[in-house]
Structures are given as C-alpha cells and as structure tokens.
Amino acid sequence: MSTRIRLAMSAAACCVLLAGAACAPEQVADGRPKTQRFTVDGPTLTIDSDLGSVALVAAPADNRTDGHRIKVTRRFDAARVGGTVGNEVRQTSPDTLQLNTRCSGVVVSCSVSYRIEVPADLAVDLTADDGHVRAEDFTAPLKARVTDGNVNLERLSGRVRLEVERGSVRAEHLSADRVHADVSDGYLVMGFDRPPGHLGSRSVRGNSTLRLPDTDYRIGTDLTRSRAKIGVRRAADSEHRIDAAVTDGRLRITHR
C-alpha cells in the first residue's frame, strides 16, 4: 500500500471519529518546484533520502578544484488535518546531502520528488526509501540501495552496484565494465551495449533477464526452485564473466 493511500485512510478514519467536528484538510505545501545549490568536496557524492522519488541527472563534468556544484530541485505536496508535515534538503557533511520528509499525525496527502543534477564524472552513493530512482548518462560509478521503490537506469558507463528490496530494476544501454545487482521481491532486466567484464546478479522471488552483445561468455548460475534459459555462446576461458543467482524465479540470458 502506498504512503499516500495509507495517509488518506488515516485521515478518513479521523473524520469518522470526529463526526460533526471540523475536518477540512489544510494545504501545507503546493508542489511548486524549489531549487537549492550545493558545493560538495570529495570523489563521491552521498545522498540519503527517506521518502520520495529521486531522479539523478547528469550535468557536464565541471573539472573544478574548489568542489563540485550540485543542483537540487524538489517538489513537495502535502495536506493535513493535524500532525507534523515538512520537507528539507540539508548538506550534513562536505560530501553528503540529506533529503528529509516528515509526514506524521493525520495527513491527507504527502508526496515528494527530487531532481538532482550531478556532474557526470562524480561518483554517487545513494540510499533511498519509499520512492523510485532514475539515473541516466553517468560515466562515474553509481551505488544505490533502494527499499520500496523501482530503479530505472540508462546509458551508464561507470561501475554499477545495486541493492533493491521490494522493487524492480530496469537498466538499458549499459556500457559499464562491472555491474552487480541484488534484487528481492521484484524483477531484474538489464541490457548491455558493450560486453561487461563482470556481471553479477542475484534475484529472490523475481525473474531475471540479461540481454548481452553477441560474443562468448563465461557463465555461472546458482538456481533454487528456478529455471534458466541461456541463449548466448559459452566459453570457459572468456574474459566476459556472468554470475547469476535466482531463487523462486526464472533466469533468461539472451543476445540483444
């Protein structure tokens, strides 16, 4: 059940209990975009989000020696009958952004989304709860841990590492040499424009589909209550290694 639905049900229950009393929701935030700019130091930008969708947008490499410029645009829409509602973006250390949302008490609606412009050559380490994640056109490494949300990636050439719980992953036009994805309670789909040096995948209670360029691969599988269909050429001495584990699902490895 989504956050918005749960909150709406709570508000409806309150109105029933307070029958005859005023129960009109107060609009706290109207969803208009608000922009903030930050300067971060270090080789990696760390982002921690506790609610809402996050879109990572690749900006031109800045090649600066005095820190990397980050632009965050957020949209927060909330209405309440009573309780605490708020949203803020804070820089908690030279290389860390904290995206915080508070929606407690009797809240009718609460939704938030972020668009974060990051230099394409700056590595990102993202933790996101209760929201979808999207990233495109990055050349630096991306590491993401996502709970209760889907992940969509396109045209990434840097190293990728994903850990997703109760969500699905779709990644297309990858040219990264090293990719690892660990997904539970969701599907995994990955398509490569260039053969990876090493692709590791693990899915639990979900299907995995890996689409690879036409060449030889060294493939290892670990299947538990699962089936596999492999449609690419295999060679024990290939420099392109695929390790795929599936529990309670199906594995399909095919050419693009």
| pLDDT for 93 | 97
pLDDT greater than 60 at residue 66: yes
Q: How many domains does the chain have?
A: 1
Taking residues 197-212, report their average pLDDT: 99
Q: DSSP letter string over the chain? A: --HHHHHHHHHHHHHHHTTTS--PPEEEEEEEEEEEEEEE-SSEEEEEESSSEEEEEEEPP---SS-EEEEEEEEEEEEEEEEEEEEEEEEEETTEEEEEEEEEEEEEEEEEEEEEEEETTSEEEEEEESS-EEEES--S-EEEEEESS-EEEES--S-EEEEEES--EEEEEE--SEEEEEEESS-EEEEESS--SEEEEEEESS-EEEEE-SSEEEEEEEEES-EEEE-SEE-TT-S-EEEEEEESSEEEEEE-
Residue 19's pLDDT is what? 47
Query: Is the per-residue pLDDT at 5 higher than 60?
Result: no
Q: How far apart are CA 99 and CA 59, in angstroms?
A: 20
* 75 has a pLDDT exceeding 90: yes
pLDDT of residue 16: 47
Q: Is residue 110 part of a domain?
A: no
Rounded Cα–Cα distance for residues 172 and 176 (Å): 11
Residue 118 in this model has a pLDDT that exceeds 60: yes
**Of all residues in the chain, what percent carry a pLDDT higher than 70?**
89
Q: Is residue 9 part of a domain?
A: no
Q: Is residue 21 part of a domain?
A: no
Q: Is the pLDDT of residue 200 over 80?
A: yes
pLDDT band at 23 (very low <50, low <70, confident <90, very high): low
Q: How would residue 11 be classed by pLDDT, with cut points 50, 70 and 90? A: very low
In this prediction, residue 3 has a pLDDT band, given cuts at 50, 70 and 90, of very low
Query: What is the mean predicted confidence (pLDDT) over 177-183?
Result: 99
pLDDT at 22: 55
Average pLDDT over residues 3-17: 46
**Domain extent for 138:** 41-65+89-96+117-255
The percentage of residues in the chain with a pLDDT greater than 90, rounded to a whole number, is: 78
Q: What is the mean pLDDT of residues 18-46?
A: 82
